[in-house]
């Protein structure tokens, strides 16, 4: 990873810019440039062939001034500590941006889940919780799913934590299956939240959502549900992709049928009636709304000027580099920044945690209604700062969130 694409360096630079605009107290600024706590672990896992393999994992607790740390766990072969630190910082801004009483954290394990059996994944998930168990808990730090982790993995992790502590504590982890205390509406929450912010953006920009064309990069949890929900609202999905490549159809794709195809063949590639495109082509597809929903640093100084979309809705974390941000702003591409756009996941995770702590569960309609109110308010709060200060939506989101975290730190007497 080159230094300019190091996500943590990018997260620090973005904070520095917000701190300057806010004239932030230097003591608060310097505390916010680094995580509060970093745990790096190595642990053994017995593989199906009988051999023991050692894996490396991380848990980063970035800031807990506004509440317990909260953030997902990634299983990825290219996971790095700096990526986890950046994601933990973004979680801190995300929970503050949507105004929920939580801080920011993140976890990751360097592994290739696509090459592992379910049994190996279960043993890895349990071993990771054994290794980080002493620093997580419902009042301390609450993990969740992220790239290549799913509700079943959350169930194994919750069970392992219960074994360590000797009692049930469903609030230790969110994104669980519903029979184990998962929330209604968690499955599509990230995408649904993103779609609510897209709806608000189209209102501000006077772009009718009905008939708007959409390209989605990444067809996992965030991307596939975003495509399905946008199509339900009348938009036309013209291109989608995953790690193996992309497909294009100007007439429009049926996102549910694409998902079935991916479930059958492990990729969107080869979906009938489409033209094959690369992930690079997908980003430059002629469309009104581009939804990056895969990994970091895909919109860069190199391709930003070729983005034709009017709205970029960052369902993924960190898809746009600072250099690309400037180009998009200059070209009047309206960017809904990651920690606002994809905050629906953590918001419904927060609902899950509240329901676990209360032992009282809400119907899905109530989840959707509460999520819509929170996302709409957050979008409009950020939009107001954007207009008032003539800064990008990303910088506006930073200014709002950093100020909220700084206020909590001051009130606690940390500085
Ligand atoms: P996922 O594992 O369900 O899906 C990831 C998708 O991206 C897969 O379709 C995969 O094939 C594709 N992909 C991987 N590498 C790619 C590449 N190089 N080019 C194109 N596609 C590629 O993951 P997810 O949960 O949907 O997460 C996607 C993004 O959304 C991540 O940035 C994640 O941090 C962010 N996010 C997810 C949640 C959530 O609740 N799931 C919440 C907030 C943010």
Ligand 1 atom closest to residue 294's alpha carbon, by position in its atom list: 7
CA distance 334 to 311: 5
Contact 227, 196 (CB under 8 A): no
Of all protein residues, the one whose alpha carbon is nearest to atom 18 of ligand 1 is 243
Give SS3 for 340: helix
Q: Which of 87, 112, 146, 187 for mutating ligand 1's site (highest number of atoms within 8 Å of CB)?
A: 146
Q: Write out the DSSP string of 145-178.
A: E-TT--HHHHHHHHHHHHHHHTS--GGG-SS--G
Residue among 1, 8, 55, 100 nearest 322 (CA): 8
pLDDT category at 322 given cuts 50, 70, 90 is: confident
- Tell me the pLDDT band of 18, cut-offs 50, 70 and 90: very high
User: Which tens digit of pLDDT belongs to each residue from 251-274?
Assistant: 999 999 999 999 999 999 999 999
* 210, 221 Cβ separation under 8 angstroms: no
Give the residue, by CA position, lying nearest to ligand 1 atom 22.
243
- Nearest atom, ligand 1, residue 186 CA: 40
Nearest CA to ligand 1 atom 32: 316
Q: Is the pLDDT of residue 318 over 60?
A: yes
pLDDT tens digits for range 364-388: 999 999 999 999 999 999 999 999 9
Residue 3 has a pLDDT of 62
> Are the beta carbons of 18 and 394 closer than 8 angstroms?
no
Q: Please give the distance, rounded to the nearest whole angstrom, from the Cα atom of residue 413 to the centre of ligand 1.
A: 38
**pLDDT above 90 covers what percent of the chain?**
95
Predicted local confidence at residue 317, as pLDDT:
87
Pocket (CB within 6 angstroms of ligand 1): 145-148, 190, 217-223, 241-243, 279, 293-295, 315-317, 342, 345
Pocket test for ligand 1, best of 221, 262, 282 (most atoms within 8 A of CB): 221
- Note the pLDDT of residue 296: 86
Please, what is the average pLDDT of the chain?
Answer: 96
Distance 191 CA to ligand 1 centre (A): 11
pLDDT for res 4: 61
Ligand 1 atom, smallest distance to 222 CA:
26
- CA 293 – ligand 1 centroid, Å: 5
pLDDT tens digits for range 49-101:
999 999 999 999 999 999 999 999 999 999 999 999 999 999 999 999 999 99
Query: 373 vs 92, 223, 313, 366, 378, CA distance in Å?
Result: 20, 22, 19, 11, 9
How much distance in Å is there from the Cα of 1 to the middle of ligand 1? 19
At 295, the pLDDT band (50, 70, 90 cuts) reads confident
Instruction: Find residue 75's DSSP bridge partners.
Output: 109
- Tell me: the pLDDT tens digits for 142-192? 999 998 999 999 999 999 999 999 999 999 999 999 999 999 999 899 999
Q: How confident is the model at residue 123 (pLDDT cuts 50, 70, 90)?
A: very high
375 Cα: distance to centroid of ligand 1 (angstroms):
20
Closest protein CA for atom 41 of ligand 1: 146
Percent of the chain with pLDDT over 70: 99
Q: Say if residue 403's pLDDT is above 70.
A: yes
* pLDDT > 70? residue 1: no
The helix (H) or strand (E) run that includes residue 96 is: helix 81-97
**Sign, CA torsion 91/14/382/205:** negative
pTM: 0.94
Measured by CA distance, the residue closest to atom 14 of ligand 1 is 243
Q: Count of H helices and E strands in the chain? A: 14, 12
Residues labelled catalytic: 106
**Rounded to the nearest whole angstrom, what is the distance from the C-alpha of residue 77 to the centroid of ligand 1?**
14
């Amino acid at each position: 990873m080159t230094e300019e694409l190091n996500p943590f360096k990018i997260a620090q630079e973005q904070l520095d810019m917000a701190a300057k605009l806010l004239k932030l107290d230097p003591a608060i600024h310097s505390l916010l440039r680094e995580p509060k706590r970093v745990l790096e672990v190595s642990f053994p896992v017995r593989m199906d062939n009988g051999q023991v393999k050692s894996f490396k994992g991380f848990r980063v607790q970035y800031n807990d001034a506004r509440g317990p740390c909260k953030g997902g766990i990634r299983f990825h072969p290219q996971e790095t500590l700096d990526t986890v630190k950046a994601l933990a910082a973004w979680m801190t801004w995300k929970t503050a941006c949507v105004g929920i009483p939580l801080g920011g954290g993140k976890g990751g394990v360097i592994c290739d889940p696509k090459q592992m059996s379910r049994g190996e994944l279960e043993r890895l998930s349990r071993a990771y919780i054994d290794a980080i168990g002493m620093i997580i808990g419902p009042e301390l730090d609450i993990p969740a799913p992220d790239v290549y982790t799913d509700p079943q993995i959350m169930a194994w992790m919750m069970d392992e934590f219960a074994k360590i502590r000797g009692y049930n504590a469903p609030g230790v982890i969110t994104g669980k299956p519903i029979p184990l205390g998962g929330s209604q509406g968690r499955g599509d929450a990230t995408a649904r939240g993103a779609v609510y912010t897209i709806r608000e953006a189209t209102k501000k920009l006077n772009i009718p959502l009905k008939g708007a064309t959409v390209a989605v990069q990444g067809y996992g949890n965030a991307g596939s549900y975003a495509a399905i929900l946008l199509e339900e609202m009348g938009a036309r999905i013209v291109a989608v992709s995953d790690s193996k490549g992309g497909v294009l159809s100007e007439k429009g794709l049926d996102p549910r049928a694409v998902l079935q195809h991916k479930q059958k063949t492990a990729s969107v590639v080869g979906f009938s009636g489409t033209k094959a495109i690369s992930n690079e082509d997908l980003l430059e597809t002629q469309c009104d709304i581009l939804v990056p929903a895969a990994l970091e640093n895909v919109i860069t100084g190199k391709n930003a000027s070729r983005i034709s979309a009017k709205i970029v809705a960052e369902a993924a974390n960190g898809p746009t580099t600072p250099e690309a941000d400037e180009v998009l702003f200059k070209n009047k591409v309206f960017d809904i920044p990651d920690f606002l756009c994809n905050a629906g996941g953590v918001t419904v995770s927060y609902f899950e945690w509240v329901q676990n702590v209360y032992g009282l569960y809400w119907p899905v309609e109530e989840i959707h209604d509460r999520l819509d109110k929170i996302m709409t308010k957050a979008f409009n709060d950020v939009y107001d700062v954007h207009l008032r200060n003539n800064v990008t939506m990303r910088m506006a989101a930073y200014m709002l969130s950093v100020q909220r975290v700084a206020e909590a730190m001051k009130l606690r007497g940390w500085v």
